[in-house]
Structure 1
Amino acid sequence: MIKDYDVIIIGGGPAGLTAALYLARNNVKVAFVEYYAPGGKLIEQSTIENYPGFSNVSGIDLATSMYNQAIQNGTKMIFGKVKELDLKKPEKIVTLENGDIYSCKYILIATGMKNLVPGQVENIEKFRGKGVSYCVVCDGALFKNEVCGVIGGGNSAFEEGFYLSKIAKEVHIFVRDEIIAEQKIQDEVQNQKNIFVYKNATVQKLNGTNSLESADVNIAGKIKNFKIKGLFPYIGFKPATSFIKDIEILDAKGFIKVNEDYETTISNVFAIGDVVSKKIRQITTATNDGTIAAKTINQRIS
């Protein structure tokens, strides 16, 4: 049996939840599809200090507030993962991997981005879930009083490394190129006595029997073995658009091309948030996208 909505949003991050809120408040029958947890990447951020109105808020708390507000106003949540979309006809069809099928007049794609896997690291997939994790907030507690590593030189690597330092015995941050984290975050890391930062450092191989036990790291041409139990790569992201077959709406990097209303070249198909082809990706820009797209749809429906 096909379940019908006015609007279906693919993804439940800040962009999707903002759009859902604006649509639901206009009495639009709207649902969002999420296979992970409402909030998207928000729930993986230990602390957020640059969202207006909150000098310091956890990602989980902000995500929970956004989710609750959307639900309280009438949004429905569909738990599942999208297998394919049929976008060409006026009635759009969303098929989930579990076989459930939904129809709608408007679709908003808000799937965001997913973590890049450091492919040059030998055995990285072997130890996924056995010491290798992409979420300190989710799995950091598993490494209480252990020695851990973080890969990356940006805000995410340094923020999560700092958060991890409150749990782990030691945190070693391996930066391949230049440190690009904001200076405030760098200062916090530098002042934390159990964090050690290595520049020109490339993790080459992970070792262990049943779980991660150590990592071989090339530091300025010399190999050093680090006894670590946990490793958290934060080397960047790629758009979560592998399920989209209508490649004409994608740019060369896989992001979705939109106009000023966040509509794609396919009528009544919108994209919002980090999955959009644009220069700046922040929580505030995601909520902006969701607001504009929802207001556009509200105008068409009314």
Structure 2
Amino acid sequence: MEKIYDVIIIGAGPSGLSAAIYASRGNLSVAIVEKGAPGGKMVAQSKIENWPGDKMVMGADLALRMYEHAIEYGAEHLYGEVETVKSLSEFEKEVHLKSGNVLKAKSVVIATGMNERKPMDVEGILEFEHKGVSYCVICDGPLYGKNPAIVIGGGNSAVEEGAFLASIASEVHVFVRDAKFIAEPKLVEELMARDNVKVHFNSRVLKLMGTNSLEKALVEIDGKQQELKVASVFPYIGFIPASSMVKDLGIVEPNGFIKVDQFQETKVKGIYAVGDITQKEIRQIITATNDGGIAGKILTNRLGK
């Protein structure tokens, strides 16, 4: 007999895992579909200092704790990449995977978050992906050893990961297009305290060069072009909502985000959205877990046995 889950959750970031914890505790059959490492963007964060109860916790450690919590209560982890989601009726949903498999459920929670925005104006940015260009310092920073590196961006992620990268690379150049950082002052202080960090405001990276891997970058600093010898570039310039797999449901706003009500439900009955993919002002781990907890509790009340 074909299995029909009570809830299928697409994405294993903090919002998806929180929904899984609450729904599983409510004795619902729950499947989490994830194409990457559980934990979402937490896995790529060197440290987290605003999670209640932990003055400082490594992102990967917090991700593992949340994941193990969800699995312990009975949530099932299914590896796969979702191609599309179909709503046949209020309590009949289909999740089609790129592998060709089709999963069925009474309800679906979209917790897909956002994907890294790529600086397409930098010549060679795609050519050198995995050959020097990475979007995860904690994952790939050690691969390039004690070599000079570049971080692009002026927000929290760029500043925080730039400070962490300074403990690995011989020199870190931070390129900020504006005249100042938009990151939190405390994070900026930590970055500027590093002796091997050089910050370039009103500057940009123009072109990446190398034979088999990244060797140097053409940059513009204070209006003048020059070449820097670098082995790695880490862009942190924002994110794009990962909502393409549900665009046919008619729930995606023009900006790519999904609007939900106070119960985290979309305008399609039985389809919920949580975390960074939703239309909201504040996107933090704690707000993502809040969304997931609400959706998991509401689903328990509506589908509880």
Q: Same fold (TM over 0.5)?
A: yes
Matched, 1:243 2:242: no
Runs (4+) of structure 1 exceeding 6 A deviation are none
Q: What's the secondary structure of 2:199's corresponding residue?
A: strand
Q: How many Å apart are 1:242 and its aligned residue?
A: 1.5
Check conservation: 2:86, 2:249, Cα contact below 8 A.
no
Amino acid at match of 1:195: V
What are the ranges of 5 or more consecutive residues in structure 1 without an aligned counterpart? none
Deviation per residue, 1:215-262 (Å, 9 max, x gap): 111122111211100000000001011112336311121001111111
Q: Which residue of 2 aligns with 1:195?
A: 197
Task: Give structure 2 stretches of 5+ with no counterpart.
Answer: none
Q: Secondary structure at the match of 2:77?
A: strand
User: Residues of 2 paired with 1:14 and 1:272: CA distance?
Assistant: 9
Preserved CA contact (<8 Å) 1:200 1:219: yes
1:154 aligns with 2:155: yes
Name 2:85's counterpart in structure 1. 85
- Are 2:70 and 1:70 equivalent residues in the alignment? yes
Tell me the CA shift for residue 3 of structure 1: 3.6
Q: How many Å separate the matches in 1 of 2:170 and 2:297?
A: 49
Could you say if the C-alpha distance between residues 247 and 218 of structure 1 is closer, same or farther in structure 2, counting changes exceeding 3 Å? farther
What's the CA shift for 1:143? 1.5
Separation in structure 2 between the aligned mates of residue 272 and residue 158 of structure 1, nearest angstrom: 27
1:140 aligns with 2:120: no
SS in 2 for 1:20: helix
Name the SS of the counterpart of 2:8 in structure 1. strand
1:269-288 pair list within 5 angstroms? 269-288=271-290
In the alignment, what sits opposite 2:99? 98
Measured in 2, the distance between the counterparts of 1:2 and 1:157 equals 46
Deviations along 1:153-193, one digit per CA (max 9) or x if unpaired, are 01100111111111111111000113111111111111100
Q: Displacement of 1:32 after TM fit? A: 0.5
Residue identity opposite 1:262 in structure 2: Q
Please say if residues 17 and 66 of structure 2, whose CA atoms lie closer than 8 Å, have aligned partners that are also in contact.
yes
TM-score, normalization: structure 1?
0.98
Q: Does 1:224 align with 2:233?
A: no
- The one-letter amino acid paired with 1:273 is G
| Structure-2 separation of matches of 1:39 and 1:3 | 26
Q: Deviations over 1:62-90 (max 9, x none)?
A: 00000001001101000010011112423
Partner of 2:108: 107
Q: Which residue of structure 2 lines up, in the alignment, with residue 208 of structure 1?
A: 210
Distance 2:69 2:99 in 1: 28
The answer as to 2:170 corresponding to 1:169 is: yes
Aligned mates of 1:228, 1:191 — CA distance in 2: 21
- The alignment partner of 1:216 has SS state of strand
Q: Provide the rounded CA distance (Å) in 1 between the counterparts of 2:286 and 2:18.
A: 11
Counterpart CA distance in 2 for 1:52 and 1:27 is 27
Aligned twin of 2:33? 33
Give the partner amino acid of 1:163. F
User: Could you say what secondary structure the match of 1:51 adopts?
Assistant: coil
Contact 1:80/1:96 (8 A) holds in 2: yes
Range with greater deviation from structure 2 (243-252 or 181-190): 243-252
Identity between Structure 1 and Structure 2 (%): 51
Matched, 1:126 2:106: no
CA–CA distance in structure 2, aligned partners of residues 3 and 125 of structure 1: 41
Structure 2 contact 87–249 (Cα < 8 Å) conserved = no
Classify the secondary structure of the residue corresponding to 2:5. strand
- Offset at residue 98 of structure 1 (A): 1.0
Q: Which position in structure 2 is the counterpart of 1:4?
A: 4
Distance in 1 (CA, whole Å) between partners of 2:216 and 2:246 is 38
Number of residue pairs matched? Answer: 302
Q: Which residue in 2 is equivalent to 1:233?
A: 235
- The 1-side partners of 2:22 and 2:257 are apart by 24
Q: In structure 2, what is the equivalent of residue 46 of structure 1?
A: 46
